[in-house]
Amino acid sequence: MNERIRILTDNRLFFCFRFGFSSATLYINLRLHLEMQTIQVVTRDFRANTQSPLLCLTAFSANMNFLGLLLLLCLQRNANGASEYPWTFDNDLLGGPDFWGLLNKHWRMCTMGQMQSPVNVDPSKLFYDSGLTPLLIDNNVVEAELQNTGQLPVLTINDSVVLSKNINISGGPGNPYRYRLHKVIIHFGRVSDGEKGSEHTVDFVRFPAEVQLIAYNTDLYTNFTEAMTQPRGLLAIAVIVDIGDITNTELRKLTVASQSITYKDSKTTLNKFNAFGLLPKTSNYVTYEGSLTFPGCYETVTWVIMNNPIYITKEDLQIWNDLQQTELKQPNPVFMFPNYRPLKTLNGRLLRTNIKVKYKRMAAPSCASNVYLDMGYQANPTRTVSSKIHHKRHFSKEQIFEENSSMTIEKMSPRAEILNNMESFDYI
C-alpha cells in the first residue's frame, strides 16, 4: 500500500472529521489535475482491519478559479484505537509537521500548543539566571538498542530499575528532581545538498546535526511513557553537531551501528554505550520550557541547549543519510533525511542561561535589568553572513560583549563564513 501522498498545490485547506465507520478501510489515491480542472480518485485498497478511520476533506484552490475537494481516509490500524497513520518530517506530504495535530486526537498539541519546540535562540532575548547550576550526569556504561523507526534513528537505554547502573541526571533547570536517560535521538539534513539538520538554531543559523538526550523524571513518575505526558515529566539535552576532522567517540559508535539499521524497524544492540561521552566539555547552556519535537508534541519538556558542539566528519555524517523509511531494499528508496521539525515561536517564553555576560553599552540603560537585550548570542560574533530570510544583526568593535567567567570567544576575520575553519567555539 502506498502510504505517501504528495500534495502538488500551494494553496490548501485541510479539514478533518471523525466518522463512526465500523470495520473497513478504504484507501484512496488522489491526483489533482489542475490543467483539466478534474480530480481523479483511484481506489487502491479495501481492508477490514480498522476501528474508526478519520475522514479528511482536503480543499485546494487553484489560480484559475478552481476549487477541488479531495477525500482521504486516514487509517487507524491498531486495536487500542490510537492512530498509526504514517507521519513524516516532509511538509510536502500529508502527514508532515503541519498535519501532525490532525492525524490523531492525542497529537493535538502539535497544532494547538503554545510552548512548542524547537525554537531559535535569539541573541536579544537571553535572561541570565544565577540560580541555574551545572548539570550532573552519571558517567556510566549501559546497554542500549538502536532502532530505525522510519522517521528517526532512536537509541533506547535499557534503564530497568533492576540494573545496578543507570544514567541519572540532576542539577540545572531540572532541580530539585532527578531524571533518568531513556532515549537518544539524532537529527540531520541532506548532506549532498549541504542542508543542515539541527532542530534548534542560533541566531537563525542551522547546524549540520543535533543529538538529543531525553530523560524522564524518576522522582514523580515510574517510566518514560507516563512521564512524557505529565508536568515536569522530561528533561532533554540538545547537543549541536558540527563538522570536524575527527568524529566524537560515542557518536562514532552510533554511526557505525547505524549501518546495521538501514531499513525501517531494523534494530541493533550496543553493549557498551556511554552517553556522557556525547556531551561537549562545557557547563554552559541555555534552557527553556518546550515540547517533544515529534508526535504528540507534549509540552512537558525542559530543554537544555549546550553551549559548545561536538564534532563529526562529513564522511560519517553521510552514513546517517543512508537510513531509509522503507522496510526492504527497493529500486526507488525513500530516505529518512531531512528529519528535523520546523522552528516554533517562543510565545513569550524565557530563554534562560547560566552564562553571566558583561555587555558594553553605548549609552547608559534607562533602568537596571538582568535581561541583556543587546547581547549577541552567535556562533561567530564577528560574522557578516546574512540569512535569506532573516536579517542578521551586525556588531561594531565597541559593541561586541566581553568575556566573563569561563566563557571564550574566538576572534575571526570579519568576512569568515560561520562554519569555516572552526576548531572550537562557543555559541554565546
Residue bearing cell 484552490: 61
Among candidate residues 85, 221, 340, 377, the one labeled active-site is 221
d(CA 44, CA 401): 62
d(CA 401, CA 395): 9
d(CA 347, CA 153): 30
- Which residues 6+ apart lie within 8 Å of 313 measured at CB? 243, 244, 245, 246, 247
d(CA 240, CA 208): 8
Residue bearing cell 555587555: 359
Strand partners, 240: 210
Which amino acid type is present at position 365? P
d(CA 181, CA 46): 42
d(CA 100, CA 22): 24
Q: Residue 241 burial by CB count (10 A; 0-12/13-18/19+): exposed, middle or buried?
A: buried
Which contiguous run of DSSP H or E holds residue 100? Answer: helix 100-103
Residue bearing cell 557498551: 272
Q: How far apart are the first and last CA of the chain?
A: 49
Asked if residues 145 and 158 have their Cβ atoms less than 8 Å apart, the reply is: yes
Asked if residues 204 and 270 have their Cβ atoms less than 8 Å apart, the reply is: no
Residue bearing cell 558517567: 139
E strand spans, 274-346:
285-290, 301-306, 310-312
Which contiguous run of DSSP H or E holds residue 371? Answer: strand 371-372
Of 221, 235, 211, residue with least CA distance to 300: 235
d(CA 395, CA 392): 10
128 is catalytic: no
How would you write 203-216 as a 3-class SS string? CCECCCEEEEEEEE
CA pseudo-torsion sign 155, 160, 166, 170:
positive
Active site residues: 221
